[in-house]
Amino acid sequence: MTTHGKTIPQDEPVVVVIGSGAGGGTIAHELATQGVKVVVLEAGPYLTADDYTNDEWPAFNQMAWLDMRTTSGSYRVARDFPNLPAWIVKAVGGTTTHWAGATPRFMAHEFAARSTYGEVEGANLLDWPITLEEMEPWYDRAEKAMGSSHRHGRPPMPANNNYKVFANGAERAGYKYYATGPYATNAEPYDGRPATVQDGFNFQGDKSGAKWSTLVREIPRALESGNAELRPLSQAVRITHGSDGRVDAVEYLDSDGNLHRQAARAVCVAGNSIETPRLLLMSDSPSHPDGLANSSDQVGRNYMRHLTGSAYARFEQPVRMYRGETMAGIIADEAVYDPSRGFVGGYYMETLSLGPAFLASFVEPGSWGREFTRLMDAYAHTAGMWLVGEDMPQESNRITLDPDVKDQWGLPAPHVHFDDHPNDIAMRRHAYRAADSIYRAAGALGVHHTPPYPATHNLGSCRMAADPADGPLNGWGQAHDVPNLFVSDGSVMTTGGAANPTLTIVALAMRQADHLRELLRTGEL
């Protein structure tokens, strides 16, 4: 097994971080560079810029998490992509190597969704145990680390053709808050990373390194600290605990299927909102018969994936949306709380360009014939946007262990059940109408509404809650039931907000690392 960084004995109790994406990579960096020994277990390979294939489907097959998963529910993804509920990455750096780079913050009311929205039938709303005011210094730190454009003196991204159509339509439709960011892609060199060359490939692995990811920043710096060891191709399969109720080790498989055991002083799980609850559920024991840290029966529940949808507009003149960054424009007017629209929560509109191969697969899954070829024939004349907003947490939207289907290791495959809430459906309809108004104001000949893709924003499933009965984690992402067990990814989100979640995941991980270090310093862990 090839490892990287300082060799740490398996019998030495250290902080074990499971996953190396936005949350895992960040907390590993924050701890290791402050003198805390860390072992990072990453299920995927260590791909670097030289390894990336800038070709959509080969790159997808190189990076995506394609282990067996099953789905159910009324949402369309269950029909169109029954074994691909989420489009996330299985490699060092996790989905930060695939993400588009958008870094808006949550707004104050989104940390208090239950208080603001009131009772919403069928939704399991809750206020976060933290506020925007508490998060603001961590947002500042995260934005500086990631190099968010439009923030802290960072220059804006240049406008590409897709944005110019988007912005012109927004202005004519009466919107006021639109810009080319914030995005964590460099418009000029910053923090050792170059400026973007506008090559259009940031879903397929960023060869230039202009886009922030834990692959290019946090992981290398953690390894350079001399306090971290990275073990790629290491699939965590169980977290064990001692008679004192504290976790004491993580068992994992190497690429040959050999079982290893790393002793743990504390464990930070950051496998994403599907793999994190799966691992906790697989770590059941006589003391935790329903899964580790699951006395609330909330592990796996309240899975969210954000309201999403896309709109692709056809114009008489060429747009060539593929020139420039994949996503580099945002309209924020609809992100506000305004229940007069017929729903609670809000949404953003963000520019998006898929290449011809992806567009053919996702623009209208299952379609065929003249209508489909007309969409593809218009590719060079097409502009695109993504619609992303807050979906309602529901207890029945849930990650469970499939009782019948196993993965390649013989372990229970995760099963994802999801139904859209009526509020989600009302918001999506409003967002499609908004997209129509923008593109028609810019002179579009027609607008096609594309259904949600496999989820890239996977949230909830191990939410933070002040009351242990409402969620498995406290306000630090620390398990109510197990004091040295933490969750460090988007699973912790109490509600989803409208904003792309990576900035918030990074800010929360920085905050959690600070708390964990203090617990280690004072001997509480």
DSSP string, 118-185: ---TT------SS-HHHHHHHHHHHHHHHT-TTSTTPPPPPP-HHHHHHHHHHHHHT---EES--BSB
Residue 440: predicted pLDDT? 98
Amino acid at 212: W
Q: Tell which residue, 338, 305, 388, 299, has the closest CA to residue 73.
A: 305
Compute the distance between CA of residue 25 and CA of residue 491 in angstroms, rounded to an integer: 15
- Contact present, 300 and 473 (Cβ < 8 Å): no
Compute the distance between CA of residue 515 and CA of residue 405 in angstroms, rounded to an integer: 39
Q: Which contiguous run of DSSP H or E holds residue 229?
A: strand 228-231
Residue 200: predicted pLDDT? 78
- Contact present, 470 and 494 (Cβ < 8 Å): no
- Contact present, 90 and 434 (Cβ < 8 Å): no
> Roughly how many angstroms between the first and final C-alpha of the chain, as a whole number?
30
Residue 174: predicted pLDDT? 98
pLDDT tens digits, the chain, 525 residues: what are they? 789 999 999 999 999 999 999 999 999 999 999 999 999 999 999 999 999 998 899 999 999 999 999 999 999 999 999 999 999 999 999 999 999 999 999 999 999 999 999 999 999 999 999 999 999 999 999 999 999 999 999 999 999 999 999 999 999 999 999 999 999 999 999 999 999 988 877 788 888 999 999 999 999 999 999 999 999 999 999 999 999 999 999 999 999 999 999 999 999 999 999 999 999 999 999 999 999 999 999 999 999 999 999 999 999 999 999 998 888 899 999 999 999 999 999 999 999 999 999 999 999 998 889 999 999 999 999 999 999 999 999 999 999 999 999 999 999 999 999 999 999 999 999 999 999 999 999 999 999 999 999 999 999 999 999 999 999 999 999 999 999 999 999 999 999 999 999 999 999 999 999 999 999 999 999
Residue 510: predicted pLDDT? 98
Amino acid at 75: Y
- Contact present, 464 and 98 (Cβ < 8 Å): no
Q: Tell which residue, 254, 249, 219, has the closest CA to residue 235.
A: 254
Burial class (CB in 10 A: 0-12, 13-18, 19+), 132: middle
Q: Identify the bridge partners of residue 113 per DSSP, sorted by sequence position.
A: none
- Contact present, 96 and 209 (Cβ < 8 Å): no
Q: Tell which residue, 419, 165, 521, has the closest CA to residue 316.
A: 165
Please state the φ and ψ torsions of residue 251, each to the nearest 5 degrees. -95, 140
Other beta carbons less than 10 A from residue 488's beta carbon: 30
Q: How far is CA 260 from CA 236, 263, 291, in A?
A: 9, 10, 21
DSSP string, 393-408: P-TTSEEEEEEEEE-T
Helix axes 22-32, 502-521, angle to 10 degrees: 30
- Contact present, 431 and 438 (Cβ < 8 Å): no
- Contact present, 450 and 309 (Cβ < 8 Å): yes
Residue 204: predicted pLDDT? 84
DSSP string, 20-83: -SHHHHHHHHHHHTTT--EEEE-SS----GGG---SHHHHHHHHB--S--EEESSSTHHHH-TT
- Contact present, 269 and 19 (Cβ < 8 Å): yes
Q: Which domains does the chain have, with CATH numbers?
A: 14-522 (3.50.50.60)
